[in-house]
Structure 1
């Protein structure tokens, strides 16, 4: 379920990464090429981006499909950014969370997205939820599994964990609690991207020092796209990209 991507590069319009490519997130919302679970990503979308001189990212999120939002098309055409994270959300069971369930989720400089699903949700999360302070649970933006996954990651980040271990430890804990979950996580602070491939597709396109893209699937047919092996932690900035087994 869901499709997402993160981009680091020189300043460019949001549309260049999210709307313009032939197989962009816009097209993936109704015709993904590699999506294994779900068919239509129409239950919300969002993009977070960084503006020069402001340490905190901005977000634009909506509960409906990305193709129906003409205001976003205008915004994406004119807003330039050196870094972004965007996602489209798979059609899901009815619920009242609306745009609060759409990625990216945020804390300080961080933007986060989850592509996948927790098996047995929400019962499977009980033991892990019990290990979080009550205030963390009360501040959940939505009652969906992705918001809960973000709560676990955010708790580790705020406790001082670097992004790689924060994602890796969260994925391992979730897999123990809910075996068979799909846990492709994507995290950026505008300077680096950290991601996990766990149960779903993940690709990257790197052209250092200019640009790096990490995405659920390639947004065009550039031969430079490389698939990330399953159960892998990816860490990237504008100069380097590394892969580590999980």
Structure 2
């Protein structure tokens, strides 16, 4: 029986969506509504194209020479790939069987949908922790923080390598106490290879305009280098590699 999913698009990247050159598959559908989301066009599954796993694998195969150079591979992102966990798991499994490095980019909000089989086919999880303050997380995303922290703890227990991603949004995610708690928590997971502190940007503004949607943080300034580096330094103080 053919497994299908709703695919928004795919792209090629280097060093941004995991180690080395990557084939990046964007899946449609997300349960969160992050105020700073750069891809509002991936929110709804109905906007994606129904695609069979075989079609995805055929597309990936075209770029095998590019993505099999040292460190390269395939990254599933979105949207939220765990919203389509059966499709995501099958693509990851097929990629692993094909000898390709696999990465899963997720908020962890739907971590309970990640089966042991799916995780066994995942070489790296890019885990987006939107905020470490419960109230801020809820206001920023419309969801709850606890599922993400539970998923992170589970990944650490299973020995799954992680890259933590933290978007620095002035006035939202720059609280020093919350950053300190985040760094302490992440350091205790045991399998975090690096922390990427990503300055908030407004590159998705045109998408909101095209969709007729308000961009809630349109007037929020992008962070200066100083505050961004201070968050990285806080992570490094706990023995983490931060970039």
Q: Which has the higher strand share?
A: 1
| TM-score clears 0.5 | no
TM-score normalised by the chain length of structure 1: 0.31
- With CA pairs under 8 Å and 6+ residues apart, which has the higher RCO, 1 or 2? 1
Q: Which has the higher helix share?
A: 2
Larger C-alpha radius of gyration, 1 or 2?
A: 2
